[in-house]
Amino acid sequence: MANEKVTSLEVAALAGVSQSAVSRVFTLGSSVSPKTAEKVRAAAEKLGYRPNVLARSLKSGKSRIIGLLVAYLENYFYPEVVEKLSTELQKVGYHVLVFLAPVSTTNVDQVVHELMDYQVDGIVMASVSMSSDLAARCHATGIPVVLFNRGLRDPRLSSVTSDNLRGGRALADYLISLGHKKIAYVAGFSGASTQVDREAGFLAGLQAAGMNLHSRAEGNFSYTDAQRAARELFATPNRPDAVFVANDHMAFAVMDVLRFELGLRIPQDVSVAGFDDVPPAAWPAYNLTTVRQNVDQMVSETVQMLITSISEGTGQSKHVVLDTGLVIRGSTRKHGGAV
C-alpha cells in the first residue's frame, strides 16, 4: 500500500547488500564504495524508501540539529547569516532549527528552554545572549553554545565577534581625517556588546584627537527608532556635520530622513557612516561608507567551534575576535572637504 513504510531491510534485499550497508549509504561521512552506494540508492528509489532520521537520532543520542536563535531579521545582516550558517552546517551533516528571539532584550532564556526541548546538539545565538543560570544548564547537559556577533563574559560560552572596538576607532579616525568637527553618534540597543564596543572605540578615537562627541541619540538597532534619532539630532541649528550610525540598517533610516524629510545632501551637507557592510550598503541609493564584518569567516569559525565541541565535549570555551575593514563609499565627503 502507498502509506506502508519501506524498511532498510527491504532495500538491502533488493540491492543485494547488508542492512548495515544501507545505513552507511544514508549516513553522512560513512565509508561505503561507490558501487554499493549506487545499488542502494537505486533500490531505495525504486521502493520509495526514505531513512527515518528521528529513529536514527533516538538510537545514536544525537539529533544532528543545531538550534539557531536570532533576532533583528529586518536587518539584512542576519538573514545572510542564517543562510550561510544553514548551508555550512548542512555540509557537515547538520540541520538548523531557527527560533526567533524577542528584539531588544538582554536574555532569551525561555526561548532557549524551548530549543533544548528539541534535543538539539548545539546552539548558536545570533544577536542575543543568555543568563548565567541557563549557560550553566547548557554546560551541564553537554550542549555547546556559541554566541554569534555578541560577547558575554562567561567561561562556559564560546563566541565569535568582529573587533568592534577597532572598527569604531577606525570610523572616528576616518571622519576626523576628513575635517569633520561636529560628529554625532546613533547608538544601537544598549544591552548589546556590539553597541557598547563600537561606541567605546568611536569615543576613544575622538578623545585621542582631542575632540568630544557633538551629540548622541539612540536607535536601538531599529529602523523606526533610528528615524526618530535622526530627527532629534538635526532638530537644532547646531547640526552635526557627520554621523556614525551603529549599524547599516539604522544608517539607511538616518539617510532617508536626512534626504527626504530634511532636504539635506549627503555628503555635501553631512557625512554618514555605518557598520556591517550589508548588501544594500553598496547599492547606488545608499553608497554607504561602513565597517565590514567578514560574515563568511565568522560563520566558518562558528561551525568549527560547534562541531569540535559536539565531537570532543564542551570543554573550554573559545573566543574569536576577527578583523574588520573600512569600506569607503560616497556617503562621506572626500579628503580636504571637497565632494
Edge-first strand order for the sheet with 145-148 is 95-100, 65-70, 122-126, 145-148, 158-162, 319-322
pLDDT in tens, 230-267: 999 999 999 999 999 999 999 999 999 999 999 999 99
For residue 166, the model assigns a pLDDT of 97
Q: Flag whether pLDDT at 10 surpasses 90.
A: no
For residue 64, the model assigns a pLDDT of 85
Mean pLDDT for 8-37 is: 82
Edge-first strand order for the sheet with 183-187 is 215-218, 183-187, 242-245, 271-276, 289-292, 325-327
Q: Flag whether pLDDT at 278 surpasses 90.
A: yes
Distance, CA of 198 to CA of 275 (rounded, Å): 9
- Joined grid coordinates for residue 283: 547599492
For residue 6, the model assigns a pLDDT of 80
Q: How would residue 52 be classed by pLDDT, with cut points 50, 70 and 90?
A: low
pLDDT in tens, 69-122: 888 788 999 999 999 999 999 998 898 988 887 665 545 777 777 777 778 888
For residue 208, the model assigns a pLDDT of 97
State the pTM of this model: 0.80
For residue 136, the model assigns a pLDDT of 72
For residue 25, the model assigns a pLDDT of 79
Mean pLDDT for 25-49 is: 82
Q: Which of 162-166, 286-290, 334-338 has the lowest mean pLDDT?
A: 334-338
pLDDT in tens, 109-147: 777 777 777 788 888 988 776 666 667 777 777 888 888
Please, what are the domains in the chain? 8-51 (no CATH), 62-162+294-322 (3.40.50.2300), 164-293+326-337 (3.40.50.2300)
Distance, CA of 16 to CA of 39 (rounded, Å): 8
For residue 338, the model assigns a pLDDT of 43
- Joined grid coordinates for residue 87: 548551508
Mean pLDDT of the chain: 87
- For 168-197, the three-class secondary structure string (H helix, E strand, C coil) is HHHHHHHHHHCCCCCEEEEECCCCCHHHHH
